[in-house]
Structure 1
């Protein structure tokens, strides 16, 4: 058996194989959480015209400069302008125009008096406080000028970006689509949740774990039914699914056992590498391409903790590359270790842990089957390959699994 390869070697191979998906115009409501694939400049100014910031009266400031509660100024009201109802486009000095918030300010007006400073007259208004020139007027372009860069290529679009893009009239933007990820669990011992469980069977938790992780990464996840330990059944299931897959993830059947169906079925193709990686958990791995479209496939180990940590280490960076999102890898956080850790030499160990205000505490044991401990953890302490022990109080590198990046 060959020596395990370093984590970085396999990751470099993956990122060199997986390509960003082609971008195309997509409706705004479809691109939330996606990386935009173009720079967007404002085609119009915001606001597009001078408009009122208050419900009140448009006036010439000089006409009401001396207004006070003791000596209010009275002006005739010569019209009314509602938002979207710009019938009156100009006004003369010595008059007032009732105006609503957002309505265009008529030519000749240089201030808006809010209702609160008036008697809200209809034919004639009494104004008891003087506005400053420009007060309560939103000037055209004061928010965004035509030609301003609104969103830079590579920005992950959130609700505020979508609101801005809609406000300048963009109905679509160039973005890479969400990768379609097919999740296949293998194992004759697996049963679907909600069905009776025999003494020698277990429920298929991995497909839910991996599909949820893919969805959280921004992908579209297709969870396929359980495939038994039969190479032909596996190849048939894989062939059926490739039509809707940008990427395939399998769990189980990649180690050295007699029933490692994924390895047995794919090895003859010559396009999928199988081997071991210097990491714990997650030592047995496979990666390559399958089908006419050379669809990337990740064959992950079957134990749930190994499968999940392999997803975090290898699949997540690939998905982010496909979506044009950077950085590809989850960033490290420094934290203080609250209990000592031992680690095997020559392997990068990922220790389940709980993070709290700069401190990190190991959770449970090292077993790769301990999904209860995995669910209780929110972080992974990463112990380098050349480190065999880490004392309590040491500063360690931590991957915070529930943090967006």
Structure 2
């Protein structure tokens, strides 16, 4: 049997990524809903549809600073206004003069009514007088105080915002599954909402495992590897909206690992471990968490998935509360890709967010690339929009294992299990990364 045939046979024994993800995500449920004060709701996901209890605007109001008037008075249809010669250069050769009978600010509350030939000086946001149907901007007048001369006539309704014009009472403001953004907070507040029911942000604990690990702030030495993973995965969890806690490094000690995970179940909705998922002599996480005890399978099942990089992934629950745990490989590149394809969707599902996967586009490939057969590869890439529409994608050098490529990428090029070569000019799938650049 040739080396290629051996590789294909090995790949055929792997679990397809889509099947694995489906089996994992079906075991997760969104966190129980929580009623939060509006000031605390930002960044959470709505657990219920939100309907406006009150209209916005709540009353007829001025949209600009100016003079609230009756349109028939300033258009020449009424009896009230008097006409005076216009300043030099004014279109029409005449202006309209109205009596200013009062001032209205945003804090005014007494109802007032316009009479023919009169107007009120109003500030933006002020309630409109009864019968007013136009606001003449200040700059279209001589800004008079007792009487005002109007040089230009706006259309009927100009400068006026009617009650409920933007959001009538009963309007569906947002559906369940929507992220609460700052603008949405403003909409809720403006329509009289002080509390919303949301899914809490998942509490995610990250643990790096391995006797070889040392903390950051030094260079790696033979027999020592700087722990990049727990820092990177903590940042990745925070980016997706989780409350992320980095526990740090846990040695390959069976009792120590069990005790640490048991302790963390008290404050975690999801635990992520990195390292030790393979079958080598030092891969203690797989050995410890998958071990059968008392005739029962271990709490975590490890699966060899058709994924490149990093085929070995683990999922299960730990502790009396059955807190979900995701076990990712120890290689930093494989750990970050594993987070993207498994841990990130799990966090989104716990948060009640929809959709759980990143958005994707079809893009024009700028460079021919090869891929291992039988594996679904996720490769760092740079995505750009084309002038005529659509996207182009440039694979970044070094492949999926390079941290520098992942740091530069704004997308992940996805090559399916049957793809061994993707030619320049072909159309490929790309996951879009929401990096803030």
> Normalization by structure 1: what TM-score?
0.90
Shift of 1:248: 0.5
Deviations 1:147-190 (A, max 9, x none): 12222222223232222111112122111111111000011111
Cα deviation 1:172-231 (Å, max 9, x = unaligned): 211111111100001111111125754421211001111111111111111112111111
Report whether the alignment pairs 1:102 with 2:125: yes
Q: Quote the offset at 1:317 in angstroms.
A: 1.3
The alpha-carbon deviation at position 129 of structure 1 amounts to: 4.4
Query: C-alpha displacement at 1:310, in angstroms?
Result: 0.9
Q: 2:38 aligns with which of 28, 37, 49?
A: 28
Residue in structure 2 matched with residue 164 of structure 1 by the alignment: 187
Q: 1:96 to 1:345 in 2, by over 3 A?
A: closer
After superposition, residues 274-289 of structure 1 pair within 5 angstroms as 274-289=302-317
- Name the structure 1 match of 2:254: 231
- The within-5 A match list for 1:384-403 is 384-402=416-434
1:180 has 2:203 as partner: yes
SS at match of 1:311: helix
**Residue 371 (structure 1) aligned with residue 403 (structure 2):** yes
Distance in 2, Cα, partners of 1:298 & 1:92: 73
Equivalent-residue separation in structure 2 for 1:367 and 1:209 (angstroms): 16
Matched, 1:93 2:121: no
Question: 2:33, 2:199 within 8 Å by CA — same for their partners in 1?
Answer: yes
Aligned to 1:305: 333
Contact 1:254–1:285, Cα closer than 8 Å, also in 2: yes
Give the secondary structure class of the aligned counterpart of 2:249: coil
Alpha-carbon spacing, 1:195–1:327, altered in 2? closer, same or farther (3 Å): same
Q: Which residue of 1 aligns with 2:243?
A: 220
* Cα gap change, 1:74 to 1:189, in 2 (>3 Å): same
| Corresponding residue number in structure 2 for 1:356 | 384
Task: Check conservation: 2:363, 2:429, Cα contact below 8 A.
Answer: yes
User: 2:342 corresponds to which residue?
Assistant: 314
Give 1:75 shift: 4.1
Residue 8 in 1 paired to residue 27 in 2? no
Structure 1: gaps of 5 or more residues: none
Deviations 1:29-69 (A, max 9, x none): 43334332222222122211111223233333444444462
Following the alignment from structure 1 to structure 2, what is the Cα–Cα distance between the partners of residues 401 and 105? 48
User: For the structure 1 residues 375 and 133, does the alpha-carbon distance in structure 2 shift closer, same or farther, using more than 3 Å as the test?
Assistant: closer
Match of 1:251 among 271, 274, 277: 274
Match of 2:357 among 307, 315, 329: 329
TM-score by length of 2: 0.84
Q: 1:388 Cα deviation (Å)? A: 2.4
What is the rounded CA distance, in whole Å, between the counterparts of 1:199 and 1:18 in structure 2? 40
Q: Distance in 1 between matches of 2:275 and 2:394?
A: 29
Aligned-pair CA distance for 1:132: 4.7
1:79–1:88 Cα contact (<8 Å) kept = no
CA distance in 1 between counterparts of 2:158 and 2:412 reads: 55
Deviates more, 1:122-131 or 1:242-251: 122-131
Q: How many residues align?
A: 403
Aligned equivalents of 2:226, 2:109: Cα separation in 1: 66
Alignment partners' CA distance in 2, 1:175 and 1:169: 17
How many Å separate the matches in 2 of 1:400 and 1:113? 48
Task: Give the alignment partner of residue 318 of structure 2, picking from 290, 300, 317.
Answer: 290
Separation in 2, partners of 1:330, 1:73: 60
1:380 aligns with 2:403: no
CA 1:308–1:87 in 2, change beyond 3 Å: closer, same or farther? Answer: same
Please say if residues 66 and 121 of structure 2, whose CA atoms lie closer than 8 Å, have aligned partners that are also in contact: yes
**Segments of 4+ in structure 1 off by > 6 A?**
none
Name the CA distance, whole Å, in 1 between partners of 2:152 and 2:423.
71
Structure 2 gap ranges (5+)? 1-9, 77-82, 87-92, 386-390
Indicate the residue corresponding to 2:90 in structure 1: none
State the 1:73 CA deviation: 4.5
Give me the whole-angstrom Cα distance separating, in 2, the residues matched to 1:335 and 1:54: 46
* 1:362 to 1:97, Cα distance in 2 relative to 1, 3 A: closer
Q: 1:133-152: per-residue Cα shift (whole Å, max 9, x none)?
A: 43322221221211122222
Root-mean-square deviation (Å)? 2.5
Pick from 172, 186, 190: which aligns with 2:213? 190
